[in-house]
Amino acid sequence: MNNYPELTLKLLANRGITTNEDIKKFLSPSYEEDLHDPFLIKGMEKAVVRIFEAIEGNEKIIIYTDYDCDGIPGSVVFYDFFKKINYYNFDIYIPDRHKEGYGLNKEAIKKFSNKKVKLIITVDLGINNVNEVAQAEALGIDVIITDHHLPPKNLPRAYSIINSKQLDDKYPFKELCGAGVAFKVIQGFIQKYKEYFDINNGWEKWLLDMVGIATLSDRVVLRGENRVLAYFGLKVLQKNKRIGLQQLFKKANINSYFASEDDISFTIAPRLNAASRMDHPQKALELLIVNNEIEGKVVSDYLTNINNERKIIVAQIMREINKNIQHREKNELIVVGNPKWRIGVLGLVATRLVEQYQKPIFVWGVEGGEIIKGSCRSDGSVNLVELMRKIPKQILIDYGGHEMAGGFSVVHEKIHFLEDELVKAYNVIKKAENEIINKDIFIDKEMSLKEVIMENYSQIERLAPFGEGNPKPIFMFRDLKIEEIRIFGKNKNHLELLLMDDNKDKIKAISFFSNAESFKIPLEDGKKINLVANFELSRWNGNADLRLRVVDII
């Protein structure tokens, strides 16, 4: 332990990592030693044998995947594997978010039956599709469910279910994302049939860029096995062998060699998700599997353009909400909606609102459909699936998701009762837990500006990638004088502060989508403030610039 710098040990201790063994595992993950045996997951043996039989019999296989930035990368894991073993009798099916909705679809299953499909493998969905799985089995189609969402009490009678959250599952890690579960299936298949297909040792590591993108995008806990997958996923992504992603990075002015979790979460994932939110998710799949540079550029440009349209729509909805939400800020949770709101962007709106109000958020819309649909996000104070389970069945038509994010459908005439019922359920859960939620920002360490140096930034980065369960370290800088306030950006919606301490040391601090009135105290030249911030290394236009990212100003 003495070999590690003081700042590193402090940050690790703040995350409960104190023993030599735990420190070594966290700072230096091992692919060979830190990933669990896939056959510890219930149903894995049965699943990989069935996939092998399908391949041997040249059966038609459908990879039925969710339309988000977890499911689509997960489907590419299967796509790359089948291509590797020269198996081509398969298709990837992604349901239309607006016309078919989330999960398995009965009409799609009928079409599969007509096309003589014999096996459906789901990615990031299926655990709640009891009736749809029964229909598939009745039509002679076996279904292997790979999913990570919380299982219901009554499970689908699928051929095999791969989901470590099943109550009797003995797998040591329960928090894999959907693509992570898909990867474990491929890992298990290769482990069992490697010699039969002559697959080189470690080939499956090239799939980790997809698993890394999904793990970082889906807000799963970045500890244990997820940290290993995200860590090595970024390593593979930085090599960037996918032509479509090369074009997307280029379009976003990101050097893939330095790709970080922030680049994935705030630049790559939104563009991939824009496909299903604004058009059809097939476009995102095309980007990830394209092998032609010209086609890659065309799809990359298209995704960037519709993502820009998405930003405009989200901004309009946020303005409307913030104009009318003041009287509800004291509620335990917030439910907002409008029949005109585009359903595909509501998850993004909910995420923004959670960041702004620090409480569970439910956002709904109709957008010309027949039923009300919505998205919800948690601030960590409550498990969303458990919360929705307590809502009377006559109100929620359907719901699903995991602890931090989910979706729901509501009966039209019951929408006005939704918030009251959610608040009742929330209070029941909190009373049972008998806990007080402390939402104060945790400060890792107080620092001076002279400590904002590359040596300390390098220590901080050893803990990356950051995310759920491993938050980016936050520091307090006291008594800083505002030397200059600058508003920048194409839409003049970002804030830059030039700050100076009593020793005349200076630093720039950045806050995106902010201005001088965005904080609890007004900002003006010459004013003394206390800054709560992260370290940040900007590489804009090829220049490395160490600065601070504002978390709060007090």
300 and 216 in one domain?
Answer: no
Let me know if residue 543 belongs to a domain.
Answer: yes
3-state helix, strand, coil in the chain (%, to 5): 45, 20, 35
Question: Between residues 244 and 326, which one has the greater pLDDT?
Answer: 244
Residue 436: band (very low, low, confident or very high) from pLDDT cuts 50, 70, 90 = very low
Q: What is the mean pLDDT of residues 133-147?
A: 97
Among 121, 126, 118, 83, smallest CA distance to 102 is for 126
Q: What is the mean pLDDT of residues 208-216?
A: 97
205, pLDDT greater than 50:
yes
197 and 143 in one domain?
Answer: yes
Q: What is the mean pLDDT of residues 167-189?
A: 96
Residue 438: band (very low, low, confident or very high) from pLDDT cuts 50, 70, 90 = very low
**How far is 538 from 260, CA to CA, in rounded Å?**
11
**Range of lowest pLDDT (205-214, 277-286, 425-434, 513-522):** 425-434
Give the pLDDT score at 266. 87
262 and 234 in one domain?
Answer: no
Domain of 308 in residue numbering reads as 243-323
Compute the mean pLDDT over every residue in the chain, rounded to the nearest whole number: 91
151 and 65 in one domain?
Answer: yes
Do strands 494-500 and 506-511 pair parallel, antiparallel, or not at all (unpaired)? Answer: antiparallel
- Ordered alpha helix ranges (H), 240-334: 243-251, 261-263, 269-278, 282-289, 293-324
259 and 209 in one domain?
Answer: no
pTM over 0.85: yes
CB atoms within 10 A of CB 433: 11
- CA distances from residue 454 to 433, 458, 474, 544 in whole angstroms, order as listed: 43, 6, 16, 10
Residue 437: band (very low, low, confident or very high) from pLDDT cuts 50, 70, 90 = very low
Task: Identify the domain boundary among 323, 344, 363.
Answer: 323
228 and 133 in one domain?
Answer: yes
Domain count, the chain: 4
Give the pLDDT score at 439. 53
Residue 397: band (very low, low, confident or very high) from pLDDT cuts 50, 70, 90 = confident
305 and 250 in one domain?
Answer: yes
454 and 309 in one domain?
Answer: no
230 and 127 in one domain?
Answer: yes
pLDDT in tens, 480-527: 999 999 998 877 888 999 999 999 999 999 998 888 888 888 899 999
Give the pLDDT score at 343. 86
pLDDT in tens, 47-77: 999 999 999 999 999 999 999 999 999 999 9
201 and 64 in one domain?
Answer: yes
Give the pLDDT score at 219. 82
Let me know if residue 268 belongs to a domain.
Answer: yes
Give the pLDDT score at 281. 92
Residue 136: band (very low, low, confident or very high) from pLDDT cuts 50, 70, 90 = very high
Task: Identify the domain boundary among 298, 323, 348.
Answer: 323
Q: What is the mean pLDDT of residues 261-281?
A: 91
pLDDT in tens, 217-264: 988 999 999 999 999 999 999 998 899 999 999 998 888 899 999 999
**How far is 401 from 149, CA to CA, in rounded Å?**
6
Task: Identify the domain boundary among 303, 323, 343.
Answer: 323
User: What CATH number should be reported for the domain holding residue 502?
Assistant: 2.40.50.460
**How far is 435 from 421, CA to CA, in rounded Å?**
21
